[in-house]
Structure 1
Amino acid sequence: MNYYYLVVFLCITVPLPALSYSGEYYASRATYYGSPDCLGTPTGACGFGEYGKTVNDGQVSGVSKLYRGGSGCGACYQVRCKIPEHCTEEGTKVVVTDYGEGDRTDFVLSTAAYGKLARPYMAEKLFAYGVVDVEFKRIACQYNYNLVFKVLPHSKYPSYLALVPLYQSGTYDIAAMEIWQDDRKEWRPMRRAYGTVFDITDAPLGAITLRYQAVYGYGDYKYWVMLNNVLPSDWQVGYTYDTGISA
């Protein structure tokens, strides 16, 4: 992922509504990477594709330590910078869609997200810093959509299946995914291919039943969520399938 400290992208910013904060904030630093439309990138390390560019109105971020081998993909964070004369108290909410490293930063924000940190008419001055001190906390992702699984284009029906979850609400990470093999009467682990993309060779025939492991916090609380027949027997490459789960 390419990002630039010295190029200023001026995006129209709208102040965020006041939010009620809970939980602990952590100190860090943030920078930004550029794109002509001020949005994110569709080629991020999480495997989200175009969704990674447009989700949350382009308020997205690459992360370093928070990436956690890909399990941190899709997480939401409240980020606010610590320059009172230039920054709002609310900051911005971002969705993790990529891996990115800067100068001792946890966040490499899209220019749209970075601009949201600024007070009205202060965006240009904030971009000139290149890197700013911030504080952040994990927050629940909220969408007007259910969790869906997209069958990625390089899948090959019926033998090879690669899936990526989209619109993952709440504050959990998807740590693992398994597929039910009915003829063996056992759960087979899917491989985390990269980011939050899970795949399997020799996928079972018929409708696909999956389960994923939801993990909260530092792994103190985890459980499995089963999705019975979430993909039909004639699943198609490039299609998305609704899980019916909204949180």
Structure 2
Amino acid sequence: MILALVASILLAIQALAVAAVYSSSYSTPSRYKGGLWRYAHATFYGEYDALETMGKSPDRTPPPRGACGYGNLYSQGYGTDTTALSTVLFNSGYGCGGCYEISCTQSKHCYPGSTIVTATNLCPPNWYKPSNNGGWCNPPRIHFDMSKPAFSKIAYWRAGIVPVRYRRVPCRRKGGIKFELKGNRWWLIVFVSNVGGPGDIKRMAVKGSKTGWLPMSRNWGVGFQVFKSLHGQSLSFMVTSFTTGKTVTAYDVVPANWRIGQAYSGGQMV
């Protein structure tokens, strides 16, 4: 009895601590306005089907999830308007989901106008080449390795690399945040996509209908995990933006009869 009481008290304290962290992060709802214009360079990778941007399999079958964990960018709603980020912008996965407006500048290969892309992958450094000659994504360079269709909206693709202007902009999404459930009975990993506003994620928490709030750790990219059996419980999620610190809560977004492999939507950043 005493041990059970102590365990209950510890769980209650943990839930209160998580709630305190998230409530302190919550700010009065306000729309994310984006950032200032800056300068960088852009290249492209892959072909017009953009399968390489999703971590293309050698036989071009459905791709793995890529550095951000989004998987099939078509079914996730991102399509080909995507970019990989250099290490500095990728920031160990915190940059995943952010949206950028990019325009070509100071090149004869530039097209007029701009395009908006979502960060969905990492452009890894190439330590065998200097940062100004092939190692475009080497730290501390800011660089965008865009999908070929996205790059072709701002410049002639044969240019290979062009100087660009860029700025963070609000991500405009249809519907709610998408929570895709993976893992097994004792390990739940949730891949989060379709996040509006700032688009990125700093941290997450999950609450079962029989538990308090449980902190989730980042597995990689937009995949957040918790080592606990939550089967048979409806699930709520707290999602906090890395850029703004704003938290949104999707209450009971997952019904109690959920199964691994299913996806649900609810809540949204602005």
TM range (shorter): 0.7 to 0.9
Instruction: Determine which of 29, 47, 58 is the counterpart of 1:35.
Output: 47
Q: Which residue of 1 aligns with 2:177?
A: 147
Is the deviation greater in 136-145 or in 44-53? 44-53
* Structural mapping, 1:97-108, within 5 Å: 97-101=120-124, 102-103=135-136, 104-108=141-145
Instruction: Summarize deviations over 1:137-188 as a string: whole Å, max 9, x none.
Output: 0011112232111113xx11x3221111111111252100112366664x32
- CA distance in 1: counterparts of 2:206 and 2:75, whole angstroms: 29
Q: Does 1:210 align with 2:237?
A: yes
The residue aligned with 1:162 is 189
Deviation per residue, 1:43-102 (Å, 9 max, x gap): 320000002687443011100211121121111100111135432332221111100045
Secondary structure of 2:79's aligned partner? helix
Alignment of 1:86-235 (within 5 A): 86-101=109-124, 102-103=135-136, 104-118=141-155, 123=156, 127-152=157-182, 155-156=183-184, 158-180=185-207, 185=212, 187-205=213-231, 206-216=233-243, 221-235=244-258
Deviation per CA, 1:23-61, whole angstroms, max 9, x where unpaired?
521111111111352455223200000026874430111
Larger Rg: 2
Q: Is the 8 A contact 1:40 1:54 kept in 2?
A: no
TM-score (normalizing by structure 1) = 0.76
Q: Structure 2 unaligned runs (5+)? A: 1-32, 56-65, 125-134
Distance 2:73 2:159 in 1: 29
Q: Identity over aligned residues, as a percent?
A: 27
Structure 1 partner of 2:259: 236
Secondary structure at the aligned position of 1:190 is classed as strand
Whether contact under 8 Å (2:177, 2:195) holds in the other structure is yes
CA RMSD of aligned residues (A): 2.5
Change (3 A) 1:165 1:34: same
Task: Report the AA paired with residue 121 of structure 2.
Answer: D
* Shift in alpha-carbon separation, 1:174–1:129, aligned structure 2, 3 A: same
Normalising by structure 2, report the TM-score: 0.70
User: Which letter does structure 2 place at the counterpart of 1:191?
Assistant: S
CA distance in 1, matches of 2:152, 2:76: 16
- Tell me which amino acid in the other structure corresponds to 1:243: G
User: What letter matches 2:100 in structure 1?
Assistant: Y
Task: Tell whether 2:84 aligns with 1:58.
Answer: no
After TM superposition, the runs of 4+ consecutive aligned structure 1 residues lying more than 3 A away are 52-57, 181-185
Gaps of 5+ in 1: 1-20
Please give the alpha-carbon distance, in whole angstroms, between the structure 1 residues aligned to 2:199 and 2:97: 9
